[in-house]
Structures are given as structure tokens and as C-alpha cells.
Amino acid sequence: MAGKIQSLTEEERTHLLPLLRNAQWVEVVGRDAIYKEFVFKDFNQAFGFMSRVALQAEKMDHHPEWFNVYNKVQITLSTHDCGGLSQRDITMATFIDQASMM
Amino acid sequence: MEGEETARAAMPRPSRLTSLQEQMIWALLESGLSRDVLVQALGELEQDRTSASAEKGERGDGESSEEGEMDFPPPIFRDLEKLSPEEAAKLRVEVDQLLQEDPWHVAKIVKSYMQQHNLPQREVVESTGLNQSHLSQHLNKGTPMKNQKRASLYSWYVKKQGEISQQFTNAKHGIASLDEQEEVKKGRRNRFKWGPASLQILFHAYERQKNPSKEEREGLVEECNRAECIQRGVSPSQLAGLGSNLVTEVRVYNWFANRRKEEAFRHKLALDTPFTNQSASSSNLNLSSPDHGSTLTRFRQAGVKYSQQILCDTMSSARGSGGERVGRLVVSPVQLEPSHTLLETHNHKPVSSSGPLPPVSTLTSLHSLSSSSASSQSLIMASLPSVMSLGESSLLIGLASTQPQAVPIINNVGGGFTTLQPISFQQQLQASSQLPISHLQSHMCASPFMATMTQLPCHMYSKSDSPQYHTSSLLSQTMVITDGSSLGNLTSLSTVRPILTEDPEEQTDPNLQEESLHLQPHTPVPAASSQSLELYPASQTTDSHQSHLLSPSPTDISSYIPTQMVSTAQ
């Protein structure tokens, strides 16, 4: 891979994580990752949302860990290459929030 | 993609979409697809799927017409869809322009671009679906190519130009999105290839010193990358644009190691094959002794036969007897020796055997020589080992000014530009049997090698170990166990080992975590591998992966450690 992905610096964390926390992203215990649960009206909406996220994930080459039951989607974001959070996770989180608004 | 399928199924009945289908289409549109691109893609995919069997019949007819049918929309068209519509339109315009021009002219442009950026043909073939042989012939010889195929080639070309310029501009930001797309497709980045500019630099350095220290290697890395950027016409500070052809310290280290291995092996081959050409040289020997005592002593280290060979050469070629000059002459006659034997004994047989250009390593070419020609050739090999590498470097270095003296069998690591010269020189050799003058000429570049010549015999013996690759430890370590070739891994493995030996039975997660975490401050590993240490516990902390790592670790690591540790010891 060209250019090793850097984990978020402390400065970035103090800057960015509060914003995500406000958006109901939670830090996972025991692991450097963020988590959020989405609930939709029905399965179609949930799956449509997942499709949007999936296409974006392919574009970014950064895939979330997620679980889906009918209208609920649980998403955990972390970067495997650096073993923790990175800028990609932040970008993905904001995109996910946007996609879930529709 | 499921989305496309359901959307496609929906096409005939646009008003009766299920809500999931709507969501899918909406998702697709949101991902950057424009309506037009989507419709076009649908059309292509439908054609492709419904006419799969019919295509085989069409292919036969299609070939005869100018605009043959594309069997399958090449992957490159799928890539186009991913772009924004304006970009896709721009690309099409450029491709059309290229299609209007003379195909041979454009082929030359594309070919030179590929050479400049060291792009493998394989990449083009994969993304355009063209036949590699056809592509190669079209680019190199101008074999005609149908318009549709040329269109896909030019699309790739235009797109690649965009990618590469993006790579260069994004170098500072470290964004490599397109690289990753490619990586996702191929699974791994394109294979690294040394550019001619870098090779020149490396051969220069190799002559100076066969075993550069880390600092020297780093210097070479900088030099090579600068040269590669310059060759591509880009500012030297934008390294990431080189992509898979970025020169790193590891690569430089490996290159030097491989050259040393080659030399050692050549020398080994030379010692193995029996010498039989001594009767011819013995008469010459009588003339030699007083003048060439100094040279004799030097080469005695390499073995009596070796020096005999040299003397033979010296005598047959040198007219003057200045010690220094003889010293120089020794080099080139040795190099030219094959020509002598060629003329004397086998006329052109060895020449023809060395005609076909050998593959990368000299070793294979030597092998073919030794097997194909009589043992008189073996003497060549005896003298050549020490000279071979010099010959290579002389090939590259002396290119501009002097004739390369190297025997054609000298390996063509340098790439295309070395191949032509030996052949032409060969013809010269055949023409003239007395070569003192050309010897003298060529000595100008041979002389610097004399110093190294003497060191060589010792070098070959002391540095014949297989080099283990040190890495700069920046390899990612998702699974420590599977990637066994980096020093970073080794040290992390070695630090893990105490854990395992202490607590062979304990495989519980927290214990291992604690142990490895404890190790971090204590173990005196270099900074590089401590980085890897951090990764290891970090990767351990992921619950899903832990069982992965733990269960194989006790058994496999112990088997890994001994082998790896042994081989790194030099």
C-alpha cells in the first residue's frame, strides 16, 4: 500500500471526537473505534441506506463493520491498518450521518 | 451488483418499483452515477448477458469488418462510470481525438508514456481486455488494431494520465484513492520495476562499493527517486506519484544483495567447470613472466587457472608491456576473451548461443552458455566472474562515450539500452581478430575497475551468504504470523517468544496482552520494530481477531522463529 495510514493524533481527537459524540457516535470500550446505531422506518429504508454507505465504502476503500436486523443498522468504524481510528473513519462517519438523514 | 439487477429488472416497468428498488436506484444515483451513465451501463450489461452465446458466432464475422463488436465491455468502461459525468465526457472527447490521428503515431505516444512511467503491459491488458500479444505488437510494431480496441486503449491511456497526475498532485496529502482501486482489483500493487535512470545510479554505486551502509542506501534512494521523477518530467518532490515504482531503501538493499549473489554464483560456476584450454595458453605463458609479475600476484588469489587465463589474454592482445597498461589490458582482454576463443575454436557457435538476449540474471545466461558450448568457454567464465559485474557497469557507464566491451552474455539488468550495444560490438569483434587498439580505447573505462578487481576474490568468499532482507519495518502487520520476511516481524516474534516459552499453556487473551504490553518498555528493540510491537497488541485487542492470532501462535511462531533468526545472522 502506498503511504501507511496514520492513526488520529491526540490533537485531532480532541478536535473531532466531540463533534462525533454529539452526533451520537460512541467510543467502543477496549478498542479504538466508534459505534452508532441507526433505526429506520422499515427494511427498505435501512437497506437503501446501507447501499449508499456501501458504494461510498467502495469508493473510499474503507469498509465499516456493521450488522443489520430489519430496520436497525449497527455500525462500528475503525481502521485495521493502524489498529485504531484514522481520518478515514471520521470521513466515513460524517458521510454515514448524511446518508441516514435522507 | 444487486442494485443494478433490480434496477434493470425495473426498467421495462418504470412505474412499478418496489420501495427497495427505489432505494437502490436512489443509492446508485447518489454514488455519483449520472442518469445517462446508468442507462448506458444498463444497456451494455443487458447486451452482454443476453447475447453471451450469440457473441461467439458474431466474433467470426466481426473480425472481418472494421468496427468489430466488443465481446464484453472492457473493465475500463466500468471505471469510466465511476467518474463524474463531466470527466467521462472529457475523456471521450480526448479518446475520439486520438482515434482520429494516425494509429502508429498514437501508439508511439502511448508506448513512450508507458516506458517513461514504467507501466507494465499487464496493467493495460487487465483493464482493457486487449490481447497482450496484440497490444505489444501494436505498440512496438504498429500491427493494426480495430477502432473499438484502440478506443479502449486510448481510454486507458487518458485515464492513466489523469490518475498519474492526480497521484503526483496528491502526493503531499497522501491520498491514494485510485491506487487503492487498482489494488483492490489486483490484490496487490503492480510489481516494482527498476527504471533505467535508477539502474545507472545503482551500477555506479555498485562499482564504488558493493555493500553500502544504511545511510548510503538512503542516499541512493533519494537519488534514484529524484532521477525517476525527472525522467517522468515531474518535480522531484512528488514521490508518491511514482506509485508502485517508488524506490525504497528495501529495494535498494535487495538490489545490492542480488548483485552480490550473482557475482558469487558466477564465481562458483567458474570454479566448478573444469578448465581445458591450458595447452593453448602455456606457450603464451613463456613470454609473459617478467613483465606481468605484478599482475600475476594480484590474480593468484583467484586461482592459478584464472591467472593463466588472464596471461593468455594479455599476451594475445597486448603489445606494450608497461605494467600499468598491462594492468588495464588485463581487464578488457578478459572481457574480450570470448571473442578470441570464438574466433579460434568455435567460430560463431558461441556467438549465436549468446545472441538471444538472456533473461535478467547472468546466471541463467551463463548456464546456457556452459551447456551449449565446449569447455573452452569455461575459461571465459573463470575470468568473467570478477569482471562480469564490472562489465555490466562498464556497459552502463561507458555507454555514452566508449564501446561497451562486455560479452553479450553479460546480463541485461540495465534493460533495453544495454542490449543493442553488445550485439553491435560483437560484429566488430568478428570483423577484426587483432584488437589492441580497441582495447586501449576501452581501457579508459576499464581502469577504475582495476582497484575493485583485486578486492573481488576476497569479496566473493566473504560475502557469499544469502542476504536477508532488512525492512524499514513499515510493513503493515495485520497478521504477524503470516508475514515472515521482515525484520520488524522477526523482532516482534522474538519478543513474543519469551511469552510463549514462559507461558506455553496460557492462551488467555488478557495474559498475552499484558505480557506483550509489558515487553514494550523492556525489550531493547530498535525503534522500527517497536512500532510493530505496538501494532501487535493493538491487533490483539480486536475481539474478533484474537482467536485468530492466538490459536496458531504457539505452534507456528516457534517454527518461524528459528528459521528466521538463523537466516538473519550474517
Question: In terms of Cα–Cα distance, which of B311, B268, B271, B306 is closest to B289?
Answer: B311
What pLDDT, on a 0 to 100 scale, did the predictor assign at position B206?
92
What was the pLDDT predicted at A76?
95
Confidence of residue B96 (pLDDT cuts 50, 70, 90): confident
* Cα-based distances in Å from A42 to A53, A70, B19, B108: 17, 7, 10, 57
Do A38 and A45 form a contact (C-beta atoms < 8 A)? no
Task: Name the residue among B200, B252, B199, B385 with its Cα closest to residue B306.
Answer: B385
Positive or negative torsion for Cα B534, B167, B99, B41: positive
Distance CA B269, CA B237 (A): 44
Task: Say what the pLDDT of residue B72 is.
Answer: 55
Q: Is B180 close to A1, i.e. CB distance below 8 A?
A: yes
Instruction: Give the pLDDT score at B127.
Output: 87
Contact A26, A35 (CB under 8 A): yes
Q: What pLDDT score was predicted for residue B355?
A: 46
Picking from A4, A40, A53, A55 by the largest number of B CB atoms within 10 A of its own CB, the best residue to mutate is A55
Looking at residue A92, what is its pLDDT? 94
A45 close to B (CB below 8 A): yes
- Residue B236 banded pLDDT, cuts 50, 70, 90: low
**pLDDT value, residue B74:** 55
CB atoms within 10 A of CB B99: 15
Highest averaged pLDDT of the listed ranges A7-16, A31-40, B181-190: A31-40
Query: How confident is the prediction for chain B on average, in pLDDT?
Result: 61
Nearest-Cα distance to chain B for A52, in Å, is 5
Q: Percent of chain B having pLDDT more than 90?
A: 5
Whether the CB of B542 is below 8 Å from some CB of chain A: the reply is yes
Strand A65-69 relative to strand A72-77, pairing: antiparallel
pLDDT band at B270 (very low <50, low <70, confident <90, very high): confident
Q: Which residue has the higher pLDDT, B135 or B314?
A: B135
Give the residue with greater pLDDT, B230 vs B15.
Answer: B230
- Write the DSSP symbol of residue A7: B
Query: What's the pLDDT band for B86 if we cut at 50, 70, 90?
Result: confident
- Dist. CA B310–CA B383, nearest whole Å: 7
Cell numbers for B18: 418496489
List of residues 6+ apart from B378 with CB closer than 8 A: B270, B273, B274, B275, B276, B277, B370
In DSSP terms, A69 is beta-bridged to A72
Do residues B174 and B239 touch, judged by C-beta distance below 8 A? no
Task: Check CB contact under 8 Å for B177 and A61.
Answer: yes
DSSP A38: E
Q: pLDDT tens, B100-128?
A: 888 888 999 999 998 888 888 888 988 88
Rounded CA gap, B471 and B251, in Å? Answer: 9
Q: Which residues of B touch A2 (CB under 8 A)?
A: 176, 179, 189, 240, 243-244, 246
Out of B26, B184, B534, the one facing A61 most closely (by C-beta) is B184
* Residue (of B175, B79, B182) closest to B123 by Cα position: B182
pLDDT of residue B185: 54
pLDDT value of position B71: 52
**Interface membership of A44 toward B (CB under 8 Å):** yes
Residue B32: list chain A partners with CB under 8 A.
Answer: 59
Quote the ipTM score: 0.73
Residue (of B149, B330, B165) closest to B233 by Cα position: B165
The per-residue pLDDT for range A25-59, each reduced to its tens digit, is 999 999 999 999 999 999 999 999 999 999 999 99
Q: What is the pLDDT of residue B516?
A: 44
| Contact by Cβ (8 Å): B24, B2 | yes
Mean pLDDT, range B233-258, rounded to an integer: 82
Of how many residues is chain A composed?
102
For residue B345, the model assigns a pLDDT of 45
Tell me the pLDDT band of B35, cut-offs 50, 70 and 90. confident
Confidence (pLDDT) at B142: 84
pLDDT exceeds 80 at position B479: no
Give residue B84's pLDDT band: very low, low, confident or very high (50, 70, 90): low
Nearest to B538 among A54, A55, A83 (CB): A83
- Bridge partners of residue A84, in order along the sequence: A79
Q: Distances from the Cα of B30 to the Cαs of A91, B15, B26, B420, in angstroms?
A: 17, 20, 6, 55
pLDDT in tens, B425-436: 444 444 444 444
Contact A99 B542 (CB under 8 A): no
Burial of B308 (C-beta count, 10 Å sphere; 0-12/13-18/19+): buried
Residue A47, pLDDT score: 94
- Rg of the Cα atoms in chain B: 30
Predicted TM-score (pTM) above 0.80: no
pLDDT, position A67: 95
Of B19, B26, B240, the CB nearest to A3: B240
- Residue B514 touches chain A, beta carbons under 8 Å: no
How far from B182 is each of A51, B79, B343, B349, B524, CA to CA, in Å?
A: 22, 10, 53, 47, 39
pLDDT surpassing 80 at residue B39: yes
Contacts for B520 with CB less than 8 Å, ≥ 6 apart: B530, B533, B534, B537
Residue type, B212: P
Read off the C-alpha cell for B63.
473480425
Say what the pLDDT of residue B427 is: 46
Residue-level pLDDT at B202 = 93
Which of A61, A78, A80 is closest, CB to CB, to B478? Answer: A80
Angle between helix B436-462 and helix B376-397 axes, rounded to 10 deg? 100
Averaged confidence pLDDT in chain A = 90
Distance between CA atoms of B331 and B287, rounded to whole angstroms?
19
Q: What is the pLDDT of residues B293-320, one digit of tens each?
A: 444 444 444 444 444 544 445 454 444 4
Phi, psi angle pair for A68, to nearest 5°: -135, 130
